[in-house]
Structure 1
Amino acid sequence: MPSPDLYVFSGLPGTGKSSLARRLAQYRRAAYLRVDTVEAALLNAGHREVTVEGYAVEYALAEDNLLLGLNVVADCVNPLALTRKAWAEVARQAGSRLVNIEVVCSDVEEHRRRVDARWEEDGQHLPKWSPPDWDGVQESVWKYEVWMTPRLVLDTAHGTPQENFAALLNLLGEQG
């Protein structure tokens, strides 16, 4: 049996990475781990603030699933070289192939429209968690470190969700 793959989706909030990550998880029948879900659960369970805990939980869950032979799709901003290195270590420990996928939206107006639209979706807000607003995304830009390791880059600015998923499969060398 081939070893499972670890797909790590990275990028600023509102670029479309969660939509792509969910679709890839369904397509590959993989475990789907979203750091926003983990952080929301921690906040709603009584944590006053969440910093590294969400990522730590996600690393552990990813490794558990990889060791079971399941492909894993991780969905997170992954802004730091430190977090990227941690994902690489998870893949190494599990004997899995790591596929880093950075999702960007090069059209600033479109990116802002998506971020603003997330605030209008009722299902996006949990009692103590909500997605970042545009100012929060801009703050993330300043903290987002330049990639120094290989990754696939997908710009979602001008494609439909279906076109962007087809482009992702193409980047992965698969037919949709």
Structure 2
Amino acid sequence: MAQAMAAANPALGRDVVADAVNPVEVGRAAWRAVAAEAGVALLEVEVVCSDPAEHRRRAESRQAEIPGLALPDWAAVVGRRYEPWTGPHLVLDTALLAPEAALARLEAELALRRA
């Protein structure tokens, strides 16, 4: 559903930001196909936390924004299936970048692509 909605927006002159967990290549490939089909540029961004202790602290202290939603525990986070990215993409490491710095880096990359 999200990909269908994303595919419809470029024809309306809108940019699309899809915030999704895509831990396996098949999910990332599907988003690339949506962009190619719509004839628009795509910037893939992988957000990581390279500090395992900080990553665990964040995972264990999260609060669900949706009542009744069960968030994954640390075992589920580290046990999930993950396939490394193989194609070009922007990596934002939240262990090294404050949110404002990560946003600035993203905006700079988008500006370079629009130039």
- Tell whether the structures are fold-level matches, with TM greater than 0.5: yes
Q: Please, which runs of 5 or more residues in structure 2 have no aligned partner?
A: none
* Compared CA separation, residues 91 and 58, structure 1 to 2 (3 A): same
**Please, what is the CA RMSD of the aligned residues?**
1.7
State the partner residue of 1:132: 72
CA distance in 1, matches of 2:108, 2:94: 14
Q: How many residues align?
A: 112
How many angstroms apart in 1 are the aligned matches of 2:71 and 2:10? 28
What corresponds to 1:3 in structure 2? none
**Match 1:149 to one of 87, 90, 99:** 87
What SS is found at the alignment partner of 2:42?
strand
More strand by share: 1
Offset at 1:173? 4.2
**Contact 1:102-1:153 at 8 Å conserved across structures:** yes
Percent identity over paired residues:
45
Task: Give the 3-state SS of the residue equivalent to 1:75 in structure 2.
Answer: coil
Please tell me whether residue 159 in structure 1 is matched to residue 97 in structure 2.
yes
Normalization by structure 1: what TM-score? Answer: 0.58
The 5 Å alignment of 1:87-106 reads 87-106=31-50
Alignment TM-score, normalising by the size of structure 2: 0.85
Conservation of the 8 A alpha-carbon contact between 1:65 and 1:71 = yes
Do residues 84 (structure 1) and 20 (structure 2) align? no
